[in-house]
């Protein structure tokens, strides 16, 4: 899936190599600071130092992920260790002022500082260095991962293609199992990572790392967990209908011995390495399969379309709304193709290493429809960076992390077949009466199918961090959650010798994942708000804001706020609402829901 590097989530995760003089990198003792003015000065000076350190840390990670070798790994680990020390000092100091009445801006910055990191280190030099090494080594193992049989070695992209093609269940199973051979070496590293991360969280006053993560949403941690459950409750019936229909079609196509007509679906049969995106099943699941599919891959391949051309398509959508073109430095500094001379992390991510408009994309772009959409998503991150770049460092982040993930995907809801035809990527438009259900199915296979997986990843980690799931239960707990929430199961027996969570990038990279669930909710809610701004009247699924200057201006207004205000204030700018609400997503898919219920009549849905 698509995401920011963990050091880009909240820029505060990163502080690092800076001046060694303690007076230059650490605030004076809290005991000597008491007045609101003194606290404001402390925050301003600390924020200035942190801003400089974030730049050092982010550049170190960029260098490592675009050139994986022992030297860049050592630099990144050293920087990470120093970052953790500086963050720990700033967080500890800021906590002393929690009960002091200060001006609203200072109060907001103190709150952000206190919850600034997703990975606090223990206050011990050796433990901090060890933790920094772990969070460098695990993503490196992932990035270099290959499945080799004799002399034939395949990377994740090639293995994923086997699943997406869906031609041979045995080959699909081999690819699925093969990728999961890269993660067992991470297992002992991850166990130690949990111990050290939890120790750091306890020193900050949190019971475990999961509580710290759930505290970053302008609400108590327990309330946030309830909020996630509430939103999923709105969407679960829709997912169950999609699951029921998909299972029946797969069973008919491959046979009941491959996909049983009842119960969970084997994970390798859904066309994606993690069963999180079912888009490749569209030809099988389309309500009107004889209607030509909206698929631009062949047009992109025939172009031929370069990696830069692919990004230009995404840039055009933003500039048509009134956003600025990408800076020239973007084209000079981004990594858009996999280099031949070194190992890299191809997982798509957006960067602004100097936090002042040094926009970069790291991605191994291929001329496919999937990458076309991924690029739009990543540009959403980049334009968010661009719009809030003038804010002070603590405010240079999303309203909450789900907002950052939602920006580009919100606009993708307006990338219609007509727009693709205008770009010259689609020869003919689909039949208007049939197009609605076909397009809804296409979007649902990408976004609706993703919802329960987007909960599983952090639900598993929260249980691991709290100790509810012990190291002896890592893999069993992972599959229990995947079956419970996703309705899928491993196609072969798995044991605790495996470490299947580590086969997903965000686990070794320590990237919180609930943000993607929140993004899925927000993108439809924001889409409705932007459609209202554009003056659209009609069913939500028929709206496109493409080229609408008023909608673009309102969107820019929200992005420019960054994290300077609590997220309900940012949400209200576009939607007029102050609570996240999945009803817009339910309404968007209303035609598909009605059709699915008709198709599933007589079926035993659920698992």
Closest CA to 267 of 18, 600, 590, 490: 490
CA–CA distance from 203 to each of 167, 190, 199, 210, 212 (Å)? 52, 20, 6, 14, 11
- Whether the per-residue pLDDT at 10 is higher than 60: the answer is no
pLDDT of residue 91: 79
- Whether the per-residue pLDDT at 31 is higher than 90: the answer is no
Packing angle, helices 36-65 and 125-143, rounded to 10: 40
Q: What is the pLDDT of residues 493-512, one digit of tens each?
A: 999 999 999 999 999 999 99
- pTM of structure: 0.84
Out of 417-421, 451-455, 474-478, least confident range:
417-421
pLDDT of residue 274: 97
CA atoms within 13 A on the CB side of 268: 23
Closest CA to 134 of 190, 82, 182: 190
End-to-end CA distance of the chain: 25
Angle ∠(392,396,399) on CA atoms, nearest 5: 125
Active site residues: 347-348, 377-378, 381, 405, 506, 516
Closest CA to 282 of 437, 431, 453: 437
Closest CA to 590 of 229, 241, 250, 243: 241
- Report the distance separating Cα 284 and Cα 14, nearest Å: 45
Q: What is the pLDDT of residues 252-302, one digit of tens each?
A: 999 999 999 999 999 999 999 999 999 999 999 999 998 877 889 999 999
pLDDT of residue 293: 73
pLDDT of residue 83: 79
For 317-360, what is the HEC assignment?
A: HHHHCCCCCCCHHHHHHCECCCCCCCCCCCCCEEECCCCCCCCE
- Whether the per-residue pLDDT at 432 is higher than 70: the answer is yes
The β-bridge partners of 335 are 362
Query: Residues with Cβ < 8 Å from 306, sequence gap 6 or more?
Result: none
- Whether the per-residue pLDDT at 577 is higher than 60: the answer is yes
Give the mean model confidence (pLDDT) for residues 533-537: 96
Radius of gyration of the chain (CA): 24
For the chain, the residue count is 607
Q: What is the pLDDT of residues 111-165, one digit of tens each?
A: 888 777 888 889 898 999 999 899 989 999 998 999 999 989 999 999 999 999 9
Out of 92-106, 198-212, 397-411, 526-540, least confident range:
92-106
CA–CA distance from 154 to each of 162, 165, 179, 456, 490 (Å)? 11, 16, 9, 27, 21
- Whether the per-residue pLDDT at 360 is higher than 90: the answer is yes
* Mean pLDDT, the chain, whole residue set: 91
The β-bridge partners of 154 are 147
pLDDT of residue 33: 65
Q: What is the pLDDT of residues 60-89, one digit of tens each?
A: 999 999 999 999 999 998 988 887 888 778
- Whether the per-residue pLDDT at 226 is higher than 90: the answer is yes
- Report the distance separating Cα 230 and Cα 587, nearest Å: 17
Decide which of 80 and 413 is more confident: 413
């Amino acid at each position: 899936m698509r995401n920011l590097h963990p050091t880009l989530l909240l820029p505060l995760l990163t502080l690092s190599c800076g001046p060694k003089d303690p007076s230059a990198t650490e605030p004076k003792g809290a005991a000597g600071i008491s007045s609101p003015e003194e606290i404001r000065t402390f925050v301003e000076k600390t924020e200035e130092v942190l801003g400089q350190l974030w730049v050092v840390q982010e550049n170190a990670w960029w260098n490592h992920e675009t050139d994986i070798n022992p030297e860049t790994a050592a630099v990144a680990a050293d920087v990470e260790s120093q970052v953790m020390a500086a963050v720990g000092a700033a967080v500890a100091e800021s906590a002393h002022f929690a009960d002091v009445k200060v001006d609203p801006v200072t109060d907001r910055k103190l709150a952000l500082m206190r919850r600034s990191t997703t990975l606090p280190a223990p206050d011990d030099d050796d433990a901090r260095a060890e933790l920094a090494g772990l969070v460098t080594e695990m993503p490196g193992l992932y990035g270099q991962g290959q499945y080799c049989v004799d002399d034939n070695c395949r990377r994740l992209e090639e293995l994923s293609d086997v699943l997406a093609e869906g031609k041979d269940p045995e080959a699909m199973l081999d690819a699925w199992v093969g990728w999961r051979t890269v993660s067992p070496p991470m297992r002992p590293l991850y166990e130690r990572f949990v111990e050290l991360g939890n120790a750091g969280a306890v020193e900050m006053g949190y019971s475990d790392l999961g509580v710290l993560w759930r505290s970053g949403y302008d609400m108590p941690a327990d309330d946030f967990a309830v909020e996630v459950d509430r939103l999923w409750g709105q969407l679960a019936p829709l997912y169950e209908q999609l699951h029921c229909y998909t299972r029946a079609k797969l069973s008919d196509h491959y046979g009941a011995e491959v996909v049983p007509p009842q119960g969970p679906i084997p994970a390798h049969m859904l066309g994606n390495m993690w069963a999180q995106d079912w888009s490749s099943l569209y030809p099988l699941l389309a309500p009107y399969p004889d209607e030509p599919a909206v698929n631009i891959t062949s047009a992109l391949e025939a172009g031929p379309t370069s990696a830069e051309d692919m990004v230009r398509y995404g840039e055009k959508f933003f500039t048509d709304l009134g956003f600025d073109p990408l800076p020239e430095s973007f084209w000079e500094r981004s990594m858009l193709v996999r280099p031949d001379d070194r190992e890299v992390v191809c997982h798509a991510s957006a960067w602004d290493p100097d936090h002042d408009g040094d926009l970069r994309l790291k991605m191994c772009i291929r001329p496919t429809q999937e990458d076309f959409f991924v690029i739009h998503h990543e540009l959403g991150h980049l334009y968010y960076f661009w719009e809030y770049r003038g804010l002070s460092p603590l405010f240079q982040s999303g309203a909450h992390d789900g907002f950052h993930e939602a920006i580009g995907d919100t606009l993708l809801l307006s990338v219609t077949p007509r727009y693709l035809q205008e770009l010259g990527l689609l020869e003919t438009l689909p039949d208007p009466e049939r197009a609605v259900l076909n397009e809804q199915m296409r979007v649902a296979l990408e976004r609706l199918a993703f919802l329960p997986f987007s909960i599983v990843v952090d639900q598993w980690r929260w249980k691991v961090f709290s100790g509810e799931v012990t190291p002896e239960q890592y893999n069993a707990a992972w599959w229990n959650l995947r079956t419970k929430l996703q309705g899928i199961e491993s196609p072969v027996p798995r044991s605790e010798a495996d470490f299947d969570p580590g086969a997903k990038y965000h686990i070794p990279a320590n990237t919180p994942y609930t943000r993607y669930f929140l993004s899925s909710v927000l993108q439809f809610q924001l889409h409705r708000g932007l459609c209202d701004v554009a003056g659209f009247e009609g069913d939500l699924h028929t709206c496109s804001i493409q080229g609408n200057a008023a909608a673009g201006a309102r969107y820019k207004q929200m992005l420019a706020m960054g994290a300077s205000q609590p997220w309900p204030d940012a949400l209200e700018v576009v939607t007029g609402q102050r609570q996240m609400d999945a009803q817009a997503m339910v309404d968007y898919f209303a035609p598909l829901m009605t059709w699915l219920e008709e198709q599933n009549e007589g079926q035993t849905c659920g698992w």
